[in-house]
Structure 1
């Protein structure tokens, strides 16, 4: 922390961003509390409205040793965008960095400031028949999505943010305030190391991300959706492989929903209904979506008809029941699971991934572990089967019969992550990144060589470790 007093820090930063760009007291509350984890206390909150202001803030903070925590929409789930409890960190919100959104329709790209949200970006792209198809349950900023390398439900078709990032602009702490431009609006550029990827998935460490150029995609002209019940766990991957063989060019989502997950949503979200009624929700179902940019007029293909024929062929082999329904309604069920889970009690969330060939086996083993060792907890799991990701949420129910206990939760985390990493060759953070909430596991599982390299990279651009809340060294 700087030797300056709090008042001197506030005065110095206010001179840069102006009265509207600096928050104190109760006005900081929304910036100090994370979406799920992370409750801290900021020295102040800065809201610069230009690249020039960000540069000046970086220079001033580097000169005086004041630590910055970059923050987008604060929707992250690992505490990486919230300050610690010291009261010595300055939150730098990108919420006012939103002046640039330049769409190049012919190049199918957009240059956009880091503070523009995903929803706003897609609203601006829609009149041009384009979209940025990272489908999430939150509304993050562009900068936040890059910092976390978000994926979402349609990763199998469109990839994660990294796959759609053409160029990136960042402000460094060393040299203080220097702007680093990485890449151009090009899909092919092999003129040296692709430096922008050093900052993708960095959880806000080392630099302030200020602008990006993204590849965008043609909006689908038609889609088809079904919710199917597989005949067995083994049939899940058989069905996925068959879909990829027959309709792989159109497959955009293959989402797994456990019976507990569906029931939690149906019971607690008022406008939801059980799509299998009058039968109860099955133990497991798969939400399948196909998309095509062309209409039947040009492709000769009606996706819903194609999906229906495929499902007919798969009946009894891999499918025992199916709901061919309104896509909006079925996706509403999928996106309501988190709300339903929260209504049951306090979620203990695991965002993990394993090779997709082992995903169903992992889920079986993890459920068995919870039932045997933590029988008072309730599993509500769902996720992205096609890319090997699963949100293995465990709920400490309101009616668990015993109070929430942090030591028990820590023991559960250690057991689940050990299973993911050691037994299944997976990842303890599939798409939420690394933050104070899970940094322990980074230090446990990253090799000494990887950590040494990460520290070396950070020392080049932020040797005083002034930017971000995560130390990857």
Structure 2
């Protein structure tokens, strides 16, 4: 029996047949990422408890085997996929799941890392609470922390980082050691906040096993509208006016381009066009409140009055409809655009006051240097995020080899980062897919410091594929 077969046997003995997947057809869903990443693993390890996960880490550390932490495998930068060596162990947290505590007074929920967002919110619903990170996917809680997920309602609730009170993690040095940071206090100014090292670092510093999350009252009324701005330049003024008028009631301000909307209507016939003809750009604006609707507090009436007052200067048209109707359009964009051709996806952020200028300049760049590429953008205009997604029609595939697509990507990133002081990864994090851009745009001093920290947590380089710099 060779070394790899022996290691597989040890892992199988530790975790059992349900906890160690060896057959290629069993491994494949864990080896291929949602968008990027398609490797080959030594095996898929699925521990059923934190103790089993800790023991697995000790085994892998003793054999110098790299571990690829994985939640629901919904990430978009390849961080949860193995490389092609066939030597990595994918550690799936999907069996370590469940909500263990809900405190309605503190508005805190404690859950294991493998718990899906949908299951978490289902458990919270009976207490009229929810975790308001809105996503088209259904990620695991551990994955959401590791990626510091954003979502469509960041404008009101912030990202995951803003809603984490505490967590527990397993360290690789010493191997399998539990680090208990499960503090549920909102105020605890007693030194370094170590949990922040594990949020947004993609599992590079340790494997999150549990989380304590701040949750919010479930909205009792919502008002949503698709709004056609007088111009994209007027969008910033419209956003500012909405914030001034509605303050904390404003929970989403999402942009949808003509092409993105057209793709949804073309590929999902059951969705009706909200406007005829479709405008160049629309915004999905949402107001919500935990206070029930009453004669003296009705968000739809307040919303309608505000929209009417904005007509002419800021708004050309608007449609008010049920939230589930309008959000169905927004959540259908990604899958619909994928059917238009090869997607060149971007997850960009710039100051929201500059979004329209950035978009105009990026489109002009494409028209000048990359003929035929179509823009299907949408995004979180309320927080400066833009999914500036492009589609390469099939008939142009020969004109755009990988090298040209890479050059296109770099030009768009250069524009966003260097001219508009933006980010090349607004909410998807850093992984093998965009590692080179992290190295291109992150200050050398920051990379050096991050590398030193990563070396402290993972001196042998056994956790994941992402490296935040090179230690001196």
Quick one: distance in 1 between partners of 2:278 and 2:128?
37
Output one character per residue of 1:159-186: Cα deviation in whole Å (capped at 9) or x when no partner. 1000000001110000111111124111
- 1:391 pairs, out of 363, 369, 387, with 387
Q: Does 1:218 align with 2:221?
A: no
SS of residue in 2 equivalent to 1:248: helix
Map of 1:295 onto structure 2: 292
Contact 1:265 1:336 in 2 (8 A): yes
Matches within 5 A, 1:186-225: 186-225=185-224
SS of residue in 1 equivalent to 2:237: helix
Shift of 1:62: 1.1
Q: Does 1:450 align with 2:436?
A: no
Quick one: distance in 2 between partners of 1:381 and 1:21?
41
TM-score scaled by length of structure 2: 0.97
Map of 1:343 onto structure 2: 339
SS of residue in 2 equivalent to 1:344: coil
Map of 1:252 onto structure 2: 251
Matches within 5 A, 1:157-196: 157-196=156-195
Contact 1:133 1:158 in 2 (8 A): yes
Shift of 1:369: 1.0
Output one character per residue of 1:24-51: Cα deviation in whole Å (capped at 9) or x when no partner. 1221010010001100000000000111
Output one character per residue of 1:328-385: Cα deviation in whole Å (capped at 9) or x when no partner. 1111111111111111001100001001111111111111111111111111000000
Aligned length: 468
Contact 1:206 1:465 in 2 (8 A): no
Unmatched segments (≥5 aa) in structure 2? none
Shift of 1:207: 1.0
Quick one: distance in 2 between partners of 1:150 and 1:43?
29
Quick one: distance in 2 between partners of 1:132 and 1:285?
27
Output one character per residue of 1:103-160: Cα deviation in whole Å (capped at 9) or x when no partner. 1111111110000011111111111111101000101000000011001000001110
Output one character per residue of 1:75-110: Cα deviation in whole Å (capped at 9) or x when no partner. 011100000001010000000001443111111111
Quick one: distance in 2 between partners of 1:96 and 1:381?
36
Output one character per residue of 1:201-253: Cα deviation in whole Å (capped at 9) or x when no partner. 10121211111000111100000011111111221011111111111120000
Map of 1:436 onto structure 2: 432
Map of 1:420 onto structure 2: 416
Map of 2:63 onto structure 1: 64
Contact 2:101 2:110 in 1 (8 A): yes
Segments ≥4 residues shifted beyond 4 Å: none
SS of residue in 1 equivalent to 2:179: strand
Map of 2:231 onto structure 1: 232
Map of 1:7 onto structure 2: 5
Quick one: distance in 1 between partners of 2:293 and 2:44?
52
Quick one: distance in 1 between partners of 2:356 and 2:256?
12
Distance 1:57 1:364, change over 3 A: same
Q: Does 1:264 align with 2:263?
A: yes
Quick one: distance in 1 between partners of 2:233 and 2:163?
33
Q: Does 1:362 align with 2:361?
A: no
Q: Does 1:306 align with 2:305?
A: no
Shift of 1:404: 4.9
Map of 1:285 onto structure 2: 282
Map of 2:33 onto structure 1: 34
Quick one: distance in 1 between partners of 2:313 and 2:182?
48
Unmatched segments (≥5 aa) in structure 1? none
